[in-house]
Structure formats: C-alpha cells, structure tokens
Amino acid sequence: EIVMTQSPATLSLSPGEGATLSCRASQSVSSNLAWYQQKPGQAPRLLIYGASTRATGFPARFSGSGSGTEFTLTISSLQSEDFAVYYCQQYNKWPRTFGQGTKVEIK
Amino acid sequence: QITLKESGPTLVKPTQTLTLTCTFSGFSLTTSGVGVGWIRQPPGKALEWFALIYWDDDERYSPSLKSRLTITKDTSKNQVVLTMTNMDPVDTGTYYCIHTQEFYPFDAWGPGTLVTVSS
C-alpha cells in the first residue's frame, strides 16, 4: 500500500497570505495525484488532478506541482473561502490512498 | 450534472451488517470506464477509500476490509449497494458515495451519510 504523508498538519495564515502544502508518497505515483478541499460539514471536492490540472470551478490562485513522490499545492493569496482541510490522494495503484490532511486555518 | 446520494441506517449495533445504497444520476454505470465507490471518514479523521465497482463488474476493495465487504450494482435502478459485515464501533463515521473513471480520481461525491455503531 502506498502511504501518503502530508505536511504540515496545520497551517495558520492570514487572508491574503500564500500557502504551500506538501504531500509525499512512499513510492512513485507518477502524476496520478489529486488534491481535495473539504469544508466543515461538507463532502470533499476534487480540486487538482494529474498533479497540476485544476478541476472545474476552482480559481487560478490554486496550483499544483510535482511528480513521482513529491507534490505541492500552492494557494497564492488566501481568500476567506479557502480556509479548509486539504487532502492529497494517489490513484496510481490499488488501494487508493489519502494523506492525513492539512488544515489551513485563519491566524 | 452528476449527482449521488447515500441512504441507509444511521445506527447499527456491533456485529450487525450495514447495507448502504448509492443512488445516482447524470451518468450510466454501463458506460465504459465508469466506476462508483465508497469512501468513509471517522469523526475528525482522514478519508479512507474502501470499495469500488466498475461498469464491467470489476470490483476493487481495500485489503484491510475486503473480507467484510460486498459491492454490487443495479444499472436499471442507477444504484450501487454496499454491504459491510460484522460492524464495530471503530466503523463509525461518514460514508460517501463517489463517481470515478478509469485512471482518474474521485470527481463527484455524495453529501455523505453518518453511520454510528453502538449498542
């Protein structure tokens, strides 16, 4: 099973600041890496797939990068609606696995 | 527009079998490459994928739960049914139904249903 490790667990930032979230895979997942955004009481939403392709409905301030085992989600300037928990997930091999999440909270 | 919705009991007793139904619209589970599956999330914890069925009846299960799971589809009703045997309090959480396609992530989610396992 591929283990996904996210860091940091919590990111405390102010609106307007930039955020950098990291995700590491225990073995290569090529570019088969997705990011999801989850707000309290809601289902997760697909945010990024193919490591760097934004899903429908998300603005350009969200960007993803990386391949192999190291991945990054960058939010260029945090808006109030961006404070949420973000999960990475690999879909290169079975079983599909998620990281433990990074909470982006208001400082 | 793809929509999915989970239904089933909100409370089950330890050792009982859980049956959840996912009813979907906006796509067909007879279309090549399409899959419907399940992900769960214990309160305050991370997401865990554990079951999926593809259009061609290919079934995928999490190894840690495989012995307890069965996933089936009814294409005439646009439904996928999950059964999980021998429920335990650690199985408490929100259960999500998801849509996917081969070589893609989970691109549509149901709102989720909270299942509590308690005597």
Half-sphere exposure of B29 (CA within 13 A, CB side): 27
| A83 and B CB contact within 8 Å | no
Quick one: three-class SS letters along chain B? CCEEEEECCCEECCCCCEEEEEEEECCCCCCCCEEEEEEEECCCCCCEEEEEEECCCCEEECCCCHHHEEEEEECCCCEEEEEECCCCHHHCEEEEEEEEECCCCEEEECCCEEEEECC
The residue-averaged pLDDT of B52-64 equals: 98
Residue-level pLDDT at B61: 98
Contact A37, A47 (CB under 8 A): yes
Which residues does A81 contact at the CB level (< 8 Å), separation at least 6?
Answer: none
Ramachandran category for residue B33: left, alpha or beta (phi over 0 → left; psi -120 to 50 → alpha)? left
Note the pLDDT of residue A107. Answer: 92
pLDDT in tens, B98-110: 999 999 999 999 9
- Residue B28: band (very low, low, confident or very high) from pLDDT cuts 50, 70, 90: very high
Is B106 within 8 Å of A89 when comparing Cβ atoms? yes
Residue with tokens 């214990």: B42
> Is some CB atom of chain B closer than 8 A to the CB atom of A84?
no
Please list every residue in chain B whose beta carbon sits closer than 8 Å to the beta carbon of residue A49.
104-105, 107
CA distance B51 to B48: 10
Tell me, yes or no, if B112 comes closer than 8 A to chain A by beta carbon: yes
Q: What is the pLDDT of residue B4?
A: 98
| B95 CB-side CA count, 13 A | 27
Residue A77: the pLDDT is: 94
- Average pLDDT taken over every residue of chain A: 97
- pLDDT at residue B90, as a whole number: 98
For residue A100, what pLDDT is reported? 98
A101 touching chain B per CB within 8 A: yes
Which of chain B's residues have a Cβ under 8 Å away from the Cβ of A44? 47, 96, 106, 109
B104 close contact with A: CB closer than 8 A: yes
The mean per-residue pLDDT over the stretch B32-59 comes to 98
The arithmetic mean of pLDDT across residues B77-89, rounded, is 98
Residue to mutate among B53, B106, B113, with most A CBs inside 10 A, is: B106
The residue count for chain B: 119
Q: Which amino acid is at B58?
A: D
A1–B105 C-beta distance less than 8 A: no
Low-confidence ranges of chain A (pLDDT < 70): none
Q: How confident is the model at residue B20 (pLDDT cuts 50, 70, 90)?
A: very high
Nearest-CA residue of chain B relative to A54? B107
pLDDT for B39: 98
Q: Which residue in the set A1, A44, A94 is minimally distant from B47, CB to CB?
A: A44
